[in-house]
Each structure stands twice: as structure tokens, then as C-alpha cells.
Amino acid sequence: MIYFLSDAHLGSLAIQRGWAHQKKLIDMLEMMSKDAASIYMLGDMFDFWMEYYRHDKAKRQYSPFCKEIRSLIKRGIHVHFFTGNHDLWTFGGLAQMTGAEVHYEPCTIIRYGKSLYLSHGDGLLPRNWQALYPKPVQRKIKRFMRLRQLFHSPTAQFLFRSLPPSWGNAFGYNWAKKSRLKEIANPCPYKGEDQEELVLFAKDQEKQNNHRDYYIFGHRHIELDLQIASGSRVVILGDCFQQWTYAKLDNKGRLTLCNYEQ
């Protein structure tokens, strides 16, 4: 069995009893370990992750989670970690702490005779996105893309990594907290097949003859399993802090969305 999960947002200041949240995630991974060949974490497993040039004592809070990943790998389970828009600032430290294979870009894999496109999902848009959305939505997308460009800037990363960890973490965790609280108060539901950016991205890929059987994303914090006209399925994983949803692919190539709490 191959498992896919995303968006745990460990360490979020908006999540009460963070230790219990981490313990529940570890229990979920233990459940998966009973029959898992591989586990793919598709981004934002941390609410904020930055690897500074100085030692960061705050990373100790994630020791149980990192220990669990090392344990999974020792048992022969391949663990993959895709960076998201909250935890992209890893420069080798996360791989060293966990032993997981870290992916900085989307990728396509073949498993059990099926092709799967894997990505956190942030920044993915169809080629003609500006023609598909009204001006207010275009402006919102452009603001996000400018912010994303800043986050990926080597100069900006160098400057932020140079900060004392206590300063950088105070800024990063509080910024992320505002995002979580805003989402909890005003969640953004599924926009529909003709408006959801990740669905439109998948359709555009199919138009370019880049066929995949499954497109699997995180990022949006909604649970979606949609078959599009080409026969591909677009799967958005939900999250692992409110919905506790994940996907699994069996050895016959059948993908299923599941709820851990059920």
C-alpha cells in the first residue's frame, strides 16, 4: 500500500494542545505502517519550518515526529517529503533529522501500473489562467504569486536564515497563525470544476498530452476526488489537523480517500 497525506501544520499556534496533535499524527503513521510500502507527505507538514545558520532549539518540539519517520524508514518504508508553502525553507536539515527523501518540485511517479503527479499544489495554474478569472481574483492570485516568489528568493532566504532563530520563529509562527485563524473562521470551500485552480491545472496538463492517471495535491485543505474528461482523477487530500483525511493506493492501482477518525 502507498499512502499520501499533507497539511498537518505541526507547531501551529492556532492549534490547541499541539503535543496531542503531534501524537495523533504519529498514531496515524503507525496505522499506515502496518501495510505501507511508501508514505508521501505532500507539504505543509509544519506550520513554519526554517533552517537558520544558528542552532534552533525550537526544533526539539518535533523530535517525536522526526523519530517516528526514522522508525518507519528502519522498517523498510520509503518516506518522501514534499515542501509546501509553509515548510519550503529546508536546506538539508530536515532530511538529516528524519532520513526522508525531500522533494522541492512536483514529480510524476509510476506505481502499480498507474502514473501519479504529486505536488503540494501552491503556485500551480493553467496556462490561460488570466482569461479564466475576473479581475479581483486575478489580483488575489498575483499577490500570492509575488509572495511565493519572495519566499523562494535566494537573497530573501539568506537574510532570513541569518536572523536569530527566536526572532525568525516569532515572526514566522505568528504570520502562519493568522493564516490558520483566518481559514478556520472563513474556510474556502470547493470552487467548482471550472474555477478550482488545481483542477484547471490538471485539465491543462491533459490538453498538453501530459497524461497521468492521478493528480494528487495538498494545499487547499479540502477533500476532493474528481474524475475529469480525460479519465484522470484529481485528488486533493484535505488536511491532518481538522479533517484528518488521507489517500491510499493499493497494489491494483486503486486510489481511495480515507478518514483517519472513522
Residue 189 sits in a domain whose CATH number is 3.60.21.10
Residue 40 scores a pLDDT above 90:
yes
The three grid cell numbers given for residue 71, joined into one nine-digit string: 522508525
The count of domains in the chain is 1
Beta carbons of 223 and 257 less than 8 angstroms apart? yes
Who's near 20: CB < 8 A, 6+ residues apart?
none
Looking at per-residue confidence, does 151 or 182 come out higher?
Answer: 151
Tens digits of residue pLDDT in 210-227: 999 999 999 999 999 999
Tally of CA atoms within 13 A in the half-sphere of 157 that contains its CB: 14
Tell me how far apart the alpha carbons of residues 119 and 71 are, in angstroms, rounded to a whole number: 25
Tens digits of residue pLDDT in 156-178: 999 999 999 999 999 999 999 98
Rounded to two decimals, what is the model's pTM? 0.95
Q: What is the helix (H) or strand (E) element at residue 82, kind and residue range?
A: strand 78-82
pLDDT at residue 196, rounded to an integer: 95
pLDDT band of 188, cuts 50, 70, 90: confident
Least Cα distance to 129 among 190, 198, 188 occurs for 198
Beta carbons of 224 and 235 less than 8 angstroms apart? yes
pLDDT band of 92, cuts 50, 70, 90: very high
For residue 108, what are the domain limits?
Answer: 2-259
